[in-house]
Amino acid sequence: MSRVYNFSAGPSMLPEPVLKTAQAELLEYEGSGQSVMEMSHRSAVFDEIIKSTEARLRRVLRIPGNYKVGFFQGGASTQFAMVPLNLMTTGSADYFVTGNFSGLAAKEAEKFGRVHIAASSKDKNFTYIPNVKTADYSPNASYIHICQNNTIFGTRFAELPQRPGVPLVADLSSCILSGPLDVSRYGLIYFGVQKNVAPAGMAVAIIREDLLGQAGPAVPAMLNYKTIIDKESMYNTPPCWCIYMTGLVLRYIEERVGGLEAMELINTAKAALLYDYLDSQEFYKNPVEKRYRSLMNVTFTSPTPEMDKAFCTAAAEAGFVNLKGHRLVGGMRASIYNAMPHEGVAKLVQFMEDFRKANA
Ligand SMILES: *Cc1c(COP(=O)(O)O)cnc(C)c1O
């Protein structure tokens, strides 16, 4: 067996010790005589899995007591609709458009009310984050929506929009658990798990209690945060395997990494390795304004699109896969989520330098 360094933007790498635990428990989970994939979601064994997973998430993210946690199907994209369906009480909301997913979230919200674009970075192909202090906020927004880490463009918010009485709603799909987070600054946080947490198939929402119960009567039960949260994510059959894997990853972060402060140090060092290299030479270029550079998704281009293609082919042959950039940006993108080892980035940098020498 030889595992590659997988730089995919998602689904993406999982920590190897987690995969080994899942493998060891695949046929029989803790003396239950069955796999987590086979057991009833109403069983005592699964009840312990879902409860301990939520408890771990609360510990790791230090989620305050007045926030609820729910496990949802439909990925982050379903959250794009659930947010306005549940929170757009005034008929309008403010959106920051800083990339593809925040644009899609705004477009989805337009179906349910007035979407006011508080700021956009489209003018420079999303290579920066607009100033959150001077954005054009509207007077009666129900909430402010941001995508905190822009997976495709490789940017992240360095500061958060904060307006008294207006909850901040944030898509953290591609940066959740990458470092400590002050949950109290948000009204609602959501993330698809397939980038930095678990296999694809689930989104998690963390929502301040007072924001629950505002959805109108026509909102489908499955799209109402309150329905799912009141039933502790067991309104219907939840994504059991994903919840189990989320629990394993959280245990790994708690017990082997040492929490999110330690995780952030690892991620900062990993990203610095790649950005410092990019800044040290002229062959590859990263278009993002430095203070908005993502720790998770690093974009770069070589001198020509033909060279980019040759780079990706040669990289894949050397065991560095999924480096092709998104079609909206071109070039390359290295997604270096929590599970990408430091060694993987160090070896990629060495490969990049060898390729540069051979092709400059
Ligand atoms: C991947 C991604 C999404 C889309 O997630 P799905 O689970 O595929 O719907 C949304 N937002 C961000 C920031 C992402 O990275």
114-148 burial code (b ≥16 CB/10 A, e <16): ebbbbbbbeeeebbbbbebeebeebeebbbbbbbb
Angle, helices 44-61 vs 240-252, to 10°: value is 40
Task: Give the contacts of 50 (CB within 8 A, at least 6 positions apart).
Answer: 41, 71, 232, 233, 234, 238, 243
Pocket of ligand 1 (CB under 6 A): 10, 75-77, 101, 147, 151, 171, 173-174, 192, 195
Task: Determine the distance separating the centroid of ligand 1 and the alpha carbon of 62, expressed in angstroms.
Answer: 24
The overall pTM is greater than 0.95: yes
Cα separation, 298 vs 274, in Å, equals: 8
If the chain, 360 residues long, is cut into consecutive pieces of 10 residues, what is the mean pLDDT of each piece? 93 98 98 98 98 98 98 98 98 98 98 98 97 97 98 98 97 98 98 98 98 96 98 98 98 98 98 98 97 98 98 98 94 98 98 97
Minimal-distance CA residue to ligand 1 atom 7: 75
Cα separation, 40 vs 91, in Å, equals: 41
Q: Give me the pLDDT at residue 2, please.
A: 86
Cα separation, 193 vs 201, in Å, equals: 7
Best residue among 12, 101, 204 to mutate for probing ligand 1's pocket (most ligand atoms within 8 Å of CB) is 101
Q: Give me the pLDDT at residue 168, please.
A: 98
Q: Which atom of ligand 1 is nearest to the CA of 192?
A: 7
Task: Determine the distance separating the centroid of ligand 1 and the alpha carbon of 197, expressed in angstroms.
Answer: 13
Q: DSSP code of 278?
A: H
Which residue do the tokens 């007035």 mark? 114
- Expressed in angstroms, the distance from the first to the final Cα of the chain is 34
Q: Which atom of ligand 1 is nearest to the CA of 148?
A: 13
- Of the candidates 347, 334, 330, the one whose C-alpha atom is nearest the C-alpha of residue 295 is 334
Cα separation, 207 vs 196, in Å, equals: 20
Task: Determine the distance separating the centroid of ligand 1 and the alpha carbon of 75, expressed in angstroms.
Answer: 7
Task: Determine the distance separating the centroid of ligand 1 and the alpha carbon of 32, expressed in angstroms.
Answer: 34
Task: Determine the distance separating the centroid of ligand 1 and the alpha carbon of 127, expressed in angstroms.
Answer: 19
Question: Which pLDDT tens digit goes with each residue over 129-167?
Answer: 999 999 999 999 999 999 999 999 999 999 999 999 999
